[in-house]
Every structure is written in C-alpha cells, then in structure tokens.
Chains A and B, each alone.
Chain A
Amino acid sequence: MSAASTSLWRQRLFGTPATAVVTLLLAAAIAWLAIPMIRWALVDASWRGTTRADCVTGGACWVFVKARFGQFMYGLYPQDQRWRADLAGLLFALATAAVVFAPPRLRLKAAIAALIVLPPLGIWLLAGGFGLRWIETREWGGLMLTLFISVYASLIAIPLGILLALGRQSQLKVVRLVSVLFIEFWRGVPIIAVIFLASLLLPLILPGGVGIDRLARAVIGLGLVIAAYMAEAVRGGLQALPPGQREAATALGLTYWKATGLIILPQALRISLPAMTNEFIALVKNTTLVLVVSILDLLGIAQASLADPAWVGMNMEAYVFSGSIYWLICFALSRWSRHLEMLGRRQHR
C-alpha cells in the first residue's frame, strides 16, 4: 500500500476524534461478532466423515450438510430418478439463455416457442407418465421444489399480470373496475392466508370428484397473488410511456391489440423489467410459505431435518446452509435487476 493511500485511509477512519471513536466501536463490535462466527464456520468446523460422531472439533458440523445434501436439493425424490430433475433444470436454464442471447428479431419467437414447449415438458419430466415412472408431488422437495414453484407460479403471474395492468389502464369502465378490485384484493391480504385459502377452497369450489394436487393448489394461490404485484410493476412501465405512442399507433389504423402487442408492450415491458425482477425475487422468498401446508421446499427440508434423531442439534448448520442458498439466488437476481435498471437509464438518455 502506498503512502498516499495509507494516509487517505487514516484520514477516512481516524480523521476527527468523532470518526476515530466510531471506527473503534465498530471494529470492536465486528471483532466480537465476526471472529467467533468465522472460528465456528471455518476454523473449528468438521468437514470429513459420514456420521455425527465425526464432528468432534467443536465448530460447525458440515458433515451433516454433506450427508443430507441430496435431501436439501431434491427432498424425498427417488435417488435413481434425480437425473430427471437435473435435466428439467438444465432445459429451463438453456431455454432462458437462448431467449436472452437470441438476436432481437428472433427473441419473441424463441420465447413463445419455449413457453409452449417447456412447461408441459418440465411437468412430464418431474411427475412422470408416458414411459417415465410416476412420482407423487409428496416426494418432491428441497431446492428443486423452490425453483419449480417459483417458475410455475410466474408462468401464471406474468401473463395474468400483464392482462391486469392493461385492464387497469383500459377505457372500459367495467374492465377497469374488475382489474382494480382483483389487484387490490390480492395485494391487501397476506400470502400465507392465500396459501391456506388455496389449499382449503380450491377443492371445495371445484366439481366434486375433481381432485387437485396440493402442490398445484399452492402454485395457483401464489400465482394469483404475484399476478397482482406483477400488474403493478407493469403498470409502472405503461405509465412511463408517453400517450402519443398509442395515439400514433391508432392513427396508423392499428387495432387495440395490434397497437398493444407491437408498440406498447415491447416498450413498457422493457421499462418494467427491473420491477418485475424484484417481484420475482419476492416470489422466490415467498415460496418458503408453502411450508405451512406441509410442502417441503428448501427451507422446509432444512426445518424438517432438525427432527432427525441421528443429527440432533444441527439447527445452525441447517439454517446457515439453506440461508446462504436463498441469499445467493436473491442477491444474484437483485444485481441483475439493478444492471437492467442502469442499462435502461443509459438507453433513455
């Protein structure tokens, strides 16, 4: 470190008496908190072995996470069938990459093709039928289930949210009123109540004998709520467009849907994308609530693993591991959202 930068740091941290006091207090607090944490998580941790007896060093017992890694990822999904979940995840990742990196002219077509092919393909891979062994949703779990719920709830939420946002801006009074009521209702009630509601009411209001899978109920419930939030994100984009855009489109003789599909939505969605990404982050975080209807996503598996008598007292390890995964996913997404925002701002200038 050069002398100039050293003196700059000294100025920054110890420039005035008040600064120095704050620095010392914070440094003491960090040392008091961070040193035991690092000792526990890294220095004193046990990494090798297969059973609880291998954890003798007094720190974190990562052996536990290693032993239960499969469950954290897949829940109770049969071990010899886990390639199906991996394949489904890989296909979704490839399709997303293909859409994102496709040349702009092909992007819309690629997205539509992916949306038609992938969702049924994913369900077939995970659930089975037509040559694949049938696996009840009861056995799904872990990170795989967290991602499944997030993706499929957005497949309901995004199109419905766009329609609701357009409805809220519509000239037609009834359409506007219905959209506003729908959006405000779902935004006003807690998501946990919606999940209860979906799991109790959906079987009740469908014709007798139509069974509906409890995972599907949770996905529908979450999808409806997130649609209301997505609608507000899209509305922001719609409101940012100058009204002249639609007027010009109408003047050129385009119908409402042509003007919307070709002129309004492409621009509005680009502006709303950061806000929609933030709603998606909220969705990923809220998938954890399926735990209340005993569907075991990543957090649910972590919570359930605490009851294993062979691994008593692994609370901290389970929470630190699952929490880190949530943090990495959400942090990556929020960085991407911020990146999109910066990009949009630069293009606007």
Chain B
Amino acid sequence: MTRAFALLNDKRVRDVVYQAALLLGLVALTVFFVRNASENMVKAGIASGFDFLWRNSGIDVPFVLTGYTRSSTVLDLFWAGVANTMLVTVVAMVLATALGFLVGIARLSSHWLLSTVAGAYIEFVRNIPLLFFVLFWYFGVIAALPAPRDSVSLFGVAFLNNRGLTIPLPEAPVTFRWAVAAILLSWIAQALVAAWARRRKERTGQDAPVLAIGLGLVVVLPALAVTWASLATGWDVPVLRGFNYRGGFVVIPEFVALLAALVTYTAGFIAEIVRGGIQAVPRGQTEAAAALGLRPGRILRLVTIPQALRVMIPPLTNQYLNVLKNSSFGAAIAYPDVVSLFMGSALNNTGQAIEIIAMTLAVYLVIGLAVSAFMNWYNARIALVTR
C-alpha cells in the first residue's frame, strides 16, 4: 500500500494514472450510452444501419437544385438539403461581406451623419436574435407583400410577391454553362497575369498595365460572355396568368426571408470587424505614405487595406462559419435545408435518429473545416513576411 502511494507521488506516474482514468471514464460513459440506446431502439422497434438511405423517400421538397423528386432515395433527399444549405450560405456570405464592408467604412467616415447612421444600424442588428429577423422577414415582411396580381415588378422581368421572387429562366442552360466556363477561364488568366506582373516588378522594377488587363479579364470579358449567352438563348420570362405567374423560376419566400435575415444580421458583425481592422493600422503608416507623396486612394489600396486584412481575416473566418451554421435557422420557417429536410422530415419518416443526426452534423463539420482551411491558406498567403 505505502509503495503504491509513493508511486503516486511521482509526477510521471501520476500523469499516466490521471489520463488513463479520464480515458476509462469516457469509454465507460460511451458504453453506457450505447447500451441504453441499443436497448431503447430494440424496444421501439427501430433498426440501425444506413440501409434506409437507399429507400424511396416519398417526401416533397418545394425548392430543389438537384434532380430530386419525391420518388428519389433518402440519400438524394440528403444531397438536396445539402445543396440548399450551400446555396443560401454562399449567397449570404458574398452579400453580407459587401454590405458589411460598406457599413464598416461608413462607420469610419468623417461625415457625422453617415457614421452615426452606420453605428445605429450596427447597434440595432447586433443586439437582436437572428431568429427574430428570420421570423420578422418571413411573417412580417414577405407575408405582407402584395398578392401575385399586384406584384412589385423589377424591370418588368422579375416579380416580387407574397409567394416569393419569380425570375426569368434561360431556355437553353447549356449556353450559360459556356458563359460560366469563359468567366472562370478569364479569372484564372487574371490570376496568372497578376502573378507574372508581380514577379517582373520584383525583378526589373517595371510596372505592367495590370489594372487595364485586370479590368478587361475580370469585368469586360465576363460581361461580354453573359450578354452573349443571354442574347443567344430564349428566355422564359414569367407572365401573369390568372392568379399566379407562369414560367420562370420561383425563388421561394423562405429563401428570400432567410437570405435577407442572414445578410442584414451578419453585415452588422462584419462591419465591426472591418472597422476594427482599419483602426488597427497605426496612423503613422498613413502619415508616412502621405509624406512619401502617395494619393489617398493609393494609400488605402497599398498601405491600409493590406495591413487591415491581416487583422480581419481570422474574425471574418468566424463570421463565415457562423453564416454556414446560422443557415440552419431556416428550419424555423421550413426552408428546405439539410437540417429541416434530413433532421426533420427524413427523421420523422424513418426514425433513424442516430444515423441521421450523425450525417447532418458531419455536413457542417466537413464544410466548416473546408471553409476554415481555405481562409487559413488565404491568411498565410497575405501574412506579414518577416525576413
């Protein structure tokens, strides 16, 4: 006995004992949970395993991007949900970043009224629950929009009403695939040109006309491609027939409400990140750049923004991950995302709680890891190089 106690006084032995105890405890807890779960499932007559994924789902989904129909499998239902989650997440990330940068820069403006309005906006959205905004946009704003017959017309081609947003759809989507390919190609070309110009500048000190080439590749070429594509194909423009619009593509009100809520809410947080990032750049940097004779626009582009970005990337990553996770708030208004389709409808139909919950959580963990891996790569790329 005394020898055992003496051993416990040895730090290394003690560390091993503690860690072994922790592991044992966790294993015991897991075994306890798993045994209860399997007993309870036997009692309730629920099978385990992933066979249910290949069964016919029989669930109608009001908003599908994939080829899903109600006779598809449960696995197809899962992918339809993932696609809807991704769609609202990506669109919300882009729009929230744009709005957040605008509000953040306005907050720093020397114009008193502008910065006050931006500040009021930030304080307003940050202190109210996101779910409140989701319900408010859905039941307060979209539901209060006029019926299809009195739709708000957007340039005569898109129509906003209480059944959602009806937009025109190209009759030949293949043409658009070519346009998208052209846009991607020109962006890749732009990246290559920029890299070449940077290397040449480092070697010879000569400026290449990067701005003109970049403008051509990033803006003009894609614009031409899209214009060509939209002229080359016919358009299925929505037309009012009786009580509703026929033709076109209906963006369901749940999507519009969820997107509006995510964008307005997240923009408040991004605005604060932008403000913090810009304020973190020491004033001396701006003053030194001005003393060197740089104009304000170039100071912002060459001195302030690059340094502010370094401060902004980590919290911005957090916000992007939040948008991904918060897209699940759509479940509260039955936007068919992965949570409401899979954890809701599919779970109700099949009762396979453990498998379905594990798959749904895995979606968020995997996409989340991918987003943070990309942002970490970007962060490393723009990080301060100390030689």
A residues whose Cβ falls under 8 Å from a Cβ of B:
12-13, 19, 22-23, 26-27, 30, 171-175, 178, 185, 188-193, 196-197, 200-201, 203-208, 281, 284-286, 288-289, 291-292, 299, 303, 306, 315-316, 319, 322-323, 326-327, 330-331, 334
Q: How far is the CA of A35 from the CA of B124 in the complex (A)?
A: 18
Q: Is the CB–CB distance between A172 and B132 below 8 Å?
A: no
- Please give the distance in Å from B384's CB to the nearest CB on chain A: 20
**16 intermolecular pairs with C-beta atoms under 8 Å apart:** A30-B117, A172-B19, A174-B22, A188-B364, A188-B365, A189-B365, A192-B331, A196-B357, A201-B353, A203-B40, A204-B40, A204-B353, A205-B36, A286-B129, A289-B329, A326-B128
Q: How far is the CA of A1 from the CA of B62 in the complex (A)?
A: 60
Q: In this complex, which of A30, A175, A323 has the most chain B Cβ atoms within 10 angstroms of its Cβ?
A: A323
Is the C-beta of B181 less than 8 angstroms from some C-beta in chain A? no
Q: At the interface, is chain A mostly helix, strand, loop or mixed?
A: helix
Q: How far is the CA of A289 from the CA of B15 in the complex (A)?
A: 41
Residues on B with beta carbons closer than 8 Å to the beta carbon of A203: 40
Q: How far is the CA of A188 from the CA of B368 in the complex (A)?
A: 7
Q: How far is the CA of A65 from the CA of B382 in the complex (A)?
A: 53
Q: Is the CB–CB distance between B132 and A197 below 8 Å?
A: no
Residues on A with beta carbons closer than 8 Å to the beta carbon of B37: 204-205
Size of B's binding interface in residues, CB under 8 A: 55
Q: CB < 8 Å: which of B113, B128, B143, B328 contacts A13?
A: B113
Closest to B39 in A: A208
Having A26-B114, A204-B354, A208-B39, one finds 9 other A-B pairs with CB under 8 Å, namely A30-B117, A172-B18, A172-B19, A175-B19, A190-B339, A203-B40, A205-B37, A207-B36, A315-B140
Q: What string of 1s and 0s marks CB contacts (under 8 Å) between B135-169 and chain A? A: 11001100110000000000000000000000000
Q: How far is the CA of A349 from the CA of B177 in the complex (A)?
A: 60
Closest to A176 in B: B19
Closest to B344 in A: A196
Q: How far is the CA of A316 from the CA of B135 in the complex (A)?
A: 11
Is the C-beta of B23 less than 8 angstroms from some C-beta in chain A? yes
Residues on B with beta carbons closer than 8 Å to the beta carbon of A330: 126-128
Q: How far is the CA of A130 from the CA of B121 in the complex (A)?
A: 50
Q: Is the CB–CB distance between B19 and A299 below 8 Å?
A: no
Q: Is the CB–CB distance between B130 and A208 below 8 Å?
A: no
Q: Is the CB–CB distance between A323 and B343 below 8 Å?
A: no
Q: Is the CB–CB distance between B331 and A292 below 8 Å?
A: yes
Q: Is the CB–CB distance between B357 and A326 below 8 Å?
A: no
Residues on A with beta carbons closer than 8 Å to the beta carbon of B364: 188-190, 193
Is the C-beta of B198 less than 8 angstroms from some C-beta in chain A? no
Which residues of B (24-40) have their CB < 8 Å from a CB of A?
A: 26, 33-34, 36-37, 39-40
Residues on B with beta carbons closer than 8 Å to the beta carbon of A178: 22, 26
Closest to A206 in B: B36
Q: At the interface, is chain B mostly helix, strand, loop or mixed?
A: helix
Residues on A with beta carbons closer than 8 Å to the beta carbon of B23: 174
Is the C-beta of B326 less than 8 angstroms from some C-beta in chain A? yes
Q: How far is the CA of A136 from the CA of B52 in the complex (A)?
A: 37
Q: How far is the CA of A27 from the CA of B111 in the complex (A)?
A: 13
Residues on A with beta carbons closer than 8 Å to the beta carbon of B331: 192, 292
Residues on B with beta carbons closer than 8 Å to the beta carbon of A299: 129, 131-132, 135
Q: How far is the CA of A319 from the CA of B137 in the complex (A)?
A: 10
Q: Is the CB–CB distance between B140 and A204 below 8 Å?
A: no
Residues on B with beta carbons closer than 8 Å to the beta carbon of A204: 36-37, 40-41, 353-354
Q: Is the CB–CB distance between B368 and A208 below 8 Å?
A: no
Is the C-beta of B287 less than 8 angstroms from some C-beta in chain A? no
Q: A205-B33, A288-B132, A315-B139 are in contact. Are A185 and B343 (CB under 8 A)?
A: no
Is the C-beta of B375 less than 8 angstroms from some C-beta in chain A? no
Closest to B356 in A: A200
Q: How far is the CA of A204 from the CA of B364 in the complex (A)?
A: 23
- Please give the distance in Å from A289's CB to the nearest CB on chain B: 6
Which residues of B (204-219) have their CB < 8 Å from a CB of A?
A: none
Closest to A12 in B: B112
Is the C-beta of B123 less than 8 angstroms from some C-beta in chain A? yes
Is the C-beta of B310 less than 8 angstroms from some C-beta in chain A? no
Is the C-beta of B191 less than 8 angstroms from some C-beta in chain A? no
Q: A200-B353, A322-B132 are in contact. Are A331 and B18 (CB under 8 A)?
A: no
Residues on B with beta carbons closer than 8 Å to the beta carbon of A200: 347, 353, 357
Q: Is the CB–CB distance between B339 and A196 below 8 Å?
A: yes
Q: Is the CB–CB distance between A171 and B353 below 8 Å?
A: no
Q: A193-B361, A316-B140 are in contact. Are A285 and B135 (CB under 8 A)?
A: no
Q: A172-B15, A205-B36 are in contact. Are A289 and B131 (CB under 8 A)?
A: yes
Residues on A with beta carbons closer than 8 Å to the beta carbon of B379: none
Q: Is the CB–CB distance between A285 and B339 below 8 Å?
A: no
Q: Is the CB–CB distance between A23 and B111 below 8 Å?
A: yes
- Please give the distance in Å from A149's CB to the nearest CB on chain B: 12
Q: Is the CB–CB distance between A208 and B332 below 8 Å?
A: no
- Please give the distance in Å from A8's CB to the nearest CB on chain B: 10
- Please give the distance in Å from A30's CB to the nearest CB on chain B: 7
Residues on B with beta carbons closer than 8 Å to the beta carbon of A201: 353-354, 357
Q: Is the CB–CB distance between A331 and B365 below 8 Å?
A: no
Residues on A with beta carbons closer than 8 Å to the beta carbon of B357: 193, 196-197, 200-201
